[in-house]
Amino acid sequence: MSTVTETILKNAMLVLADRVVEGHLVIRDGMIAEIGEGTTSAPGDDLDGDYLMPGLVELHTDHLEGHYGPRPGVRWNAIAAVQAHDAQIAASGITTVFDCLRMGSDEDGGFKPGEMRELADAIEQAQREDRLRSDHFLHLRCEVSAADVLDAFDKFRSDDRVRLASLMDHAPGQRQFQTMDQYTLYYKTKRGLTDEQFEVFVAKRQEQSARYSAPHRRAIAEHCRGAGVTLASHDDATLDHVDEAIADGVGLAEFPTSKEAARASHEAGMSVLMGAPNVVRGGSHSGNIAAKDLAEAGILDVLSSDYVPSSLLQAVFKLADDVDAISLPQAVALVTSTPARTVGMDDRGVVAVEKRADLIRVRNLDQLPIVRTVWRQGRRVI
């Protein structure tokens, strides 16, 4: 005989899709079974008036890299690194995470061929062994200008945890680095290159981009369309970039660098993603468009924590407080239902009956929210 597991959460401010109500909720066998407004006399967990909202859905974070390679040349045990990463992700309220793995050599990367596959194997082993609090999927960041990007990509063609792939070109004169000012700062100054060394470096990257970007982009996009993997286009800056993304079947516009590109992507039906740290800091660290400007214009769809997991919730409350046109439920949708829908996961991301009981209990103090409890599929993990 099977045993039905049930949890009642009461005295909570429920963040629903369209409003916030005081009420209670019943979890049964990992799903949201009932939602009611007001109090209930049934025994259950009293949330003391805290917010109860969907678990966050994170589509783009390279936070794992810092745990796996904490210092240049240092490699941590892969499963231990995944566990440490997962603990911080879950404590930030993220119950579904797409871990970014870079495909293609990049002089700024420092990772050897095969290491990303080893990390993916560690993620999948940790998931199988019930070591993880959050639900992990893979996001392949494909540097299409790299000569070996397809070699790296080939190791993931049959991996069913790959649900998202982004098409990127970080060569000088392209997308994020359309002007040389930021590229010089990021590569020449940061790496301590001489003028002659930097000139050689730039020429090499530009030659690779001209030679490889277009065929690699086509090959990866074709595979992803056939495999049902959502495509993202990274750092689009111009209308030509957006037209290229439309032709490729892209569903997610990651970090567009201009308002013009963001608007065109949004109007074409893509979800426009910007960084939550951009919202928290009040602007882009690389001098590109501010996420708040896109939010005020109604063309921001998804937030990503990028390099600071806790920034997702901070950005939610900051936008809800600072932008008149954005309510708390609308801000929450940027980190829950919209990213979930963008990658075809309609089973989560909203507090509603018959959805997964991926839930977080949050108390907000001065736009610095505290995640007090996390449930994934009804099971308390924090």
Predicted local confidence at residue 106, as pLDDT:
60
* φ, ψ at 234 (rounded to 5°): -105, 130
Chain-wide mean pLDDT for the chain?
A: 91
Strand, coil or helix: 40: coil
Predicted local confidence at residue 195, as pLDDT:
74
Predicted local confidence at residue 170, as pLDDT:
67
- Give the dihedral sign, CA 72/310/91/168: negative
Name the pTM for this structure.
Answer: 0.91
CB 16 within 8 A of CB 351: yes
The CA radius of gyration of the chain, in Å to the nearest whole number, is 21
Predicted local confidence at residue 199, as pLDDT:
74
Strand pairing class (359-363; 370-376): antiparallel
Low pLDDT (below 50) residues in the chain: 1
Predicted local confidence at residue 205, as pLDDT:
77
Predicted local confidence at residue 210, as pLDDT:
80
Enclosing H/E stretch for 149: helix 149-154
CATH of domain 55-346: 3.20.20.140
Predicted local confidence at residue 192, as pLDDT:
65
Predicted local confidence at residue 201, as pLDDT:
72
Helices 195-227 and 239-248, axial angle in degrees (round to 10): 40
Strand pairing class (252-254; 271-275): parallel
